[in-house]
Structures are given as C-alpha cells and as structure tokens.
C-alpha cells in the first residue's frame, strides 16, 4: 500500500545551472514580472512577487543559498498574479526563475534577491504542496490542535484526525499516476496515497506551530513482502523529532479495497522498532 514517489527535476540549460548563461530578466513572451522591479533587492524572509500573464498558472523555481531547489505556483486571475514567496533557507542570496511549467525554466525570467533573515524556516513555512497557510488548513488545525494543547497533544490530535478522515486511494496507486496534490486539496477530497497523507500531516502541523518535514524512503512489512517507495513524516514535538506514518495507521488493503482502522502503531514508535520497517532516504524540501 505504497505510493510511487516523483522526483523533482528542474531543467535549466539542459539540466545544469550555468550562471554565465543567464542575465537578469523580468519578461518572457507569456509572463511579465512587475514586482520586484530590479534584481538584488533585500528582504526579510519573504518576497511578494507580482506580475501579468495570459496563462492560467505561473510556476516559480527558487534556489536557496546552498543550492536548495523548490518550486511554487501562482494562479492567474484577470491576467494578474501575486505570490508570497518564502525565503525558507536562511540568510543569503536566492535566485528566482519563472516559467510556464514546473519542470523547465528557460531563464528568460531570472532575478536574485537577498534574504536578511537568519532564521531557517524550511520546516515551518508553507511550500507549494504543504500549503499550511491555506484557509482550510489553518481553520482545521485551529479546531483539532488549538494553542492551549501541548505540542505532543497537538501531534496526537493531527495524527488521529488524518487516520480517521483520509482514506487510501488504492485505485490511484494501482494506476501508477504520479500527481502532486496540495494538502488542502487532499483534505477536501479525503483520500490520497502515502505522499498525500504526509503532505496533510506536515501542513496541519506547521499550521499548528510544529516544525514538520516529509520523509521519502523505503518501507517494508515484517510479514515478508518487499520494501517499496513510501512517504511519512517527522514532526518536532516535545523537544525532539517524532516519527509517524499515518498511511499505515489509517488502514490496510484487503481484496483490493481499503479497510479503515485508525491505529496508533506507527505514531511515535521506538526508533529501533520503526527502523525495522522504514528506511529514510530523503528529508524533502516540501
């Protein structure tokens, strides 16, 4: 009961970042950036990008000071778009590209910004798919994990809500379709695969004030079936990173159907026990 994991490939200059190949630019045949108006401006943790386009959606690629790569998108309404782009990787120089899809940026629009804020917010700020600032996510987090709860109580409440309310979409898994869906959309749909579960947990946790990350790796059952690609979470609560796998706790597949159970076996397990079934390979930047 595992979802396939899609890798993010940013194709710039044939897959490489060739700094000398690109000059600063704010306009392409289909996109125009109207703010910021020049390259190299300084900001404190976030940059508001505004512009015009005839597209339905504009994609952005952000490269952090140490080469971190993430993508974001902005919906276009009435020919205009606006995006608050978090500079999540601490102080330093960032490069921003804009384009018409999430996997290829031709360099026609490229500029740099300086982040003066030292704080690294990669596991607390929203991302393209862990959209913890979405009103539906914020509202749900406030309802199930209010501020008066302790961090661990918040995490228990989030785990409980996700395992009780999100069903595993086994037919989507069988189809092999690799689609990235926002946490807010999965909350609305109330179904998804392992990556969708992990995005929802991370989004609710961040909205509740808990640093959270999405983990990709291999997971296999002790019953004997081979390990497969999987996604789960680590959330910072009680002074440490807590592992949890809401996909496995939500239920299981029997006769090609999802059977709900809302268990807690994979909530805050002992490290040695969890390591028998889960092997992390990537702490993602989602």
Question: Top-level CATH class of 135-283?
Answer: alpha beta
Query: How would DSSP label each residue in 76-98?
Result: -BTTEEEEEEE-TB-SEEEEEEE
Instruction: Identify the helix (H) or strand (E) that includes residue 23.
Output: none
Instruction: Please say whether the beta carbons of 231 and 149 come within 8 A.
Output: no
- Residue range(s) in the chain whose domain bears CATH number 2.60.40.10: 19-115
Architecture of domain 19-115: Sandwich (2.60)
- Residue range(s) in the chain whose domain bears CATH number 3.10.620.30: 135-283
pLDDT tens by residue, 54-81: 999 999 999 999 999 999 999 999 999 9
How, if at all, do strands 191-192 and 167-168 pair? parallel
pLDDT tens by residue, 129-149: 999 999 999 999 999 999 999
pLDDT tens by residue, 217-228: 999 875 555 678
pLDDT band (50, 70, 90) for residue 250: very high
pTM: 0.90
């Amino acid at each position: 009961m595992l979802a396939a994991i899609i890798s993010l490939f940013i194709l710039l200059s044939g897959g490489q970042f060739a700094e000398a190949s690109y000059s600063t630019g704010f306009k392409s045949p289909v996109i125009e950036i109207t703010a910021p108006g020049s390259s190299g401006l300084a900001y404190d943790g976030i940059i508001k990008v505004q512009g015009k386009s005839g597209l339905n959606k504009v994609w952005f690629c952000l490269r952090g000071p140490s080469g971190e790569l993430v993508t974001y998108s902005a919906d276009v309404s009435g020919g205009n778009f606006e995006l608050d782009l978090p500079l999540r990787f601490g102080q330093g120089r960032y490069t921003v590209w804009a384009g018409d899809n999430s996997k290829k940026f031709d360099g026609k629009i490229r500029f740099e910004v300086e982040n003066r804020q030292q704080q690294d917010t990669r596991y607390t700020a929203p991302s393209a798919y862990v959209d913890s600032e979405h009103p539906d996510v914020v509202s749900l987090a406030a309802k199930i994990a209010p501020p008066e709860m302790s961090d661990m109580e918040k995490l228990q409440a989030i785990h409980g809500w996700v395992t009780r309310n999100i069903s595993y979409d086994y037919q989507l898994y069988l189809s092999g379709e690799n689609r990235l869906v926002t946490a807010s959309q999965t909350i609305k749909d109330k179904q998804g695969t392992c990556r969708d579960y992990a995005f929802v947990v991370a989004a609710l946790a961040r909205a509740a004030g808990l640093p959270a990350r999405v983990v990709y790796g291999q997971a296999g059952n002790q019953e004997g079936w081979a390990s497969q690609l999987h996604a789960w979470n680590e959330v910072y609560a009680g002074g440490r990173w807590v592992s949890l796998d809401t996909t496995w706790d939500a239920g299981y597949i029997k006769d090609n159907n999802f059977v709900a159970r809302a268990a807690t076996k994979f909530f805050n397990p002992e490290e040695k026990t969890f390591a028998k079934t889960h092997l992390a390979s990537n702490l993602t930047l989602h």
